[in-house]
Amino acid sequence: MKISLLQQDIIWANPSANQQVAEGVLRDLEKSDVYVLPEMFSTGFAVHPEDVAEKDGLSLRWMQMIAAKLDAAICGSVAIEEDGKFANRFYFVKPDGECIYYDKRHLFTYGGEHKRYTKGEERVVVDFRGVRFLLQVCYDLRFPVFARNNDETPYDVAIYVASWPTSRIEVWNTLLHARAIENQCYVAAVNRVGEDLACKYCGGTMLIDAYGRTIAECELNKQCAITADLDMEALAAFRKKFPVLDDAD
């Protein structure tokens, strides 16, 4: 299976412009099975979502159109408003239009995200073309218990989409590799570049294997994308040879 990760410079509060940029990048990429966009790829990360949260499903419809066109899954998070409540919603859209979503559980209280958004309650794993994907958003990365690979909701690839600032990029790098090693999984991590009113972002988009090795990564501070293979046979062989997960608490 091939996966593509898009490291995007997000235009503030302009879904159509951001979709146009992403579509141009997607069009030039090597064919993949899964394409991953950053956190709040349509607007940029908004602590105050009242003016940017989508009520009409604009980004979701665009994702369904792209997924059908590419015969692939596309995923990323969007600020949405539903019944008067806001969520940081991570959509995983399949080529047939089916949408599975995860609402970010760990809201970034340091930045006030918890004051406006409703946290999700359920851990979500998506099965697509025989590969199981755990959906995670930004601050979730700091909470390993929630991401622990287990028998109830096992997974092969953890996807982290983020707006992770440059000032804390070493934490991003360290924790991503730890999640891959401790869960014997691939980690596909997509962080934005550019800046908004509050932060600067340098990227750090990468794919990490279960040994903790970075097997593909984007150049820092540059809007770009990478495509890499997920070798599921190699992952299964490693888990069988060295069954760390069998000894987990």
Q: Where along the chain do its domains lie? A: 2-247
| Alpha carbon 118 to chain centroid, angstroms | 19
For the chain, the residue count is: 249
- Token readout for 47 is 């602590």
Segment 69-93 shows an average pLDDT of: 97
Average pLDDT in the 40-69 region? 95
| pLDDT at position 129 | 98
pLDDT at 161 (0 to 100) = 98
What is the predicted pLDDT for the residue at 6?
98
In the predicted structure, residue 197 carries a pLDDT above the cut 90 = no
Q: Where are the beta strands (DSSP E) in the chain?
A: 2-7, 34-36, 73-82, 85-93, 99-103, 125-128, 131-137, 157-162, 186-191, 193-195, 200-202, 206-208, 214-217, 224-229
- Alpha carbon 80 to its chain's center: 16
Q: What confidence score (pLDDT) does residue 207 get?
A: 99
Mean pLDDT of the chain: 97
pLDDT of the residue at 249: 87
What value does the mean pLDDT take over residues 219-229? 98
Is 104 part of the annotated catalytic residue set?
yes
2-247 is a CATH 3.60.110.10 domain: yes
Please state, in angstroms and rounded to a whole number, the distance separating the CA atoms of residues 65 and 93.
10
- Asked whether the predicted pLDDT for residue 218 surpasses 90, the reply is yes
- Is 138 considered catalytic here? yes
Which residue has tokens 């792209």?
66
- pLDDT over 90, % of the chain: 98
User: Average of pLDDT values for 98-104?
Assistant: 98
Averaged pLDDT, 124-141: 98
pTM of the model: 0.98
Instruction: Single out the catalytic residue among 138, 185, 202, 218.
Output: 138
Give the integer Cα–Cα distance in Å for 246 and 10.
41
Find the distance separating the first CA and the last CA of the chain, reported in whole Å: 31
Which of the following is catalytic: 54, 75, 94, 104? 104
The radius of gyration of the chain's CA atoms, rounded to the nearest angstrom, is 17
Residue 143's beta-bridge partner residues? Answer: none
Rounded Cα–Cα distance for residues 249 and 236 (Å)? 21
pLDDT in tens, 20-53: 999 999 999 999 999 999 999 999 999 999 989 9
- Looking at residues 199-228, what average pLDDT do you find? 98
- Can you tell me which residue has the tokens 């990323």? 76
Predicted confidence at residue 184, as pLDDT, reads: 98
Find out whether 227 and 200 touch, Cβ atoms under 8 Å: no
User: Of all residues in the chain, what percent carry a pLDDT higher than 70?
Assistant: 100
Amino acid letter for position 88: N
Question: Tell me, what's the pLDDT at 183?
Answer: 98
Average pLDDT over residues 70-96: 97
pLDDT tens-digit map of 166-179: 999 999 999 999 99
Question: What's residue 51's pLDDT?
Answer: 85
